[in-house]
Structure 1
Amino acid sequence: MKKPSVTPIEKEVVLNEEDFIISKTDLKSRILYGNQIFIQMSGYSEDEILGQPHNILRHPDMPRCAFKVLYDHIQNGKEWFGFVKNLRKDGGYYWVFANISPTYDNNGNMIGYYSVRRKPREGFKSIIEPLYKTLLNIESSEGMEGSLKAVEDLLEKHNMTFNEVMLKIQKGIINEL
């Protein structure tokens, strides 16, 4: 396995094209499992990260409304796709394109969440970073309700669901919002 590349000025760690980050959490989003690349990218040891809430990796550049949309999807039994900027233990960060879905026991009861993340396509930042910055600004002045309304308006403008917009950005079909 190749080591991820680090841009020292910005402290960004870039996921390799062939890498997939996998983790499982319980219903309270406490980390139950993380594959080796997850542990490596987080900068934590396995002992340090298992049992911790997944938001230990939440970067301050991420708008809260992104996680509200995520949890609304997965708590309603739907999968979620999106771009996430994660915070590393050392203060660095890494971007992922995430797919998160609920997991169930043999009786059909939701027991947790399963996430598979990969390297986002080149050029996604020119779309996602300004969007997230706008949403953060809205959150600071109008609260989460304001940023959720901005997301709703954006989806209505494009006549797509959240997942459709995110998947089309990842595929390079949408190049601006």
Structure 2
Amino acid sequence: MLRRGFLSVRSGLTDDDVRKSAAGLAVRALELPELAHARSVAAYVSVGSEPGTLALLDALHARGVRVLLPVLLPDNDLDWGAYEGAGSLAPVRHGTRMALLEPVGERLGPDAVRGADVVLLPGLAVDGRGMRLGRGGGSYDRVLARLERTDADPALVVLLYDAEVVERVPAQAHDRPVHAVVTPSGVRRFR
């Protein structure tokens, strides 16, 4: 029910709202010291009314950062491919879901995320503890568990709209807190 509420608010955003927020998100995210020093960043391509990521991906790529983007596997786990600019993406439909933009090049395997200095995570909300509410598919829960099992310690950052930073979201034993949330108006750290 909570997820539906956040998705409903997002569906009311105009293309102009999403575009303006994406510009603000890129500016704020690029100010993060973690991204300023990153050699490799695992990110994602926003779809629909999600907080926009393409401007940020392009800026990181222009800096010479290796940007890894997810490829959704049939079991909802994520493989990874390198972002080489907007021309390196293709729409891929997974069943009846909305088409996702995925990298067209070589597949690097699910463990490629372990080499990232920063992991930019999608979400619907984050709370004051840094707990992230995802869409419920479990893809990024698997990514976070993989990172934890291998002692990889990248900075975990969620990109959201301002109103999606809330007091509390439900958390389960397997959920892991993030280190920061970036919104169009600023950054909040949790660690």
TM-score by length of 2: 0.26
- Structure index of larger Rg: 1
- Structure with the higher fraction of residues in helix conformation: 1
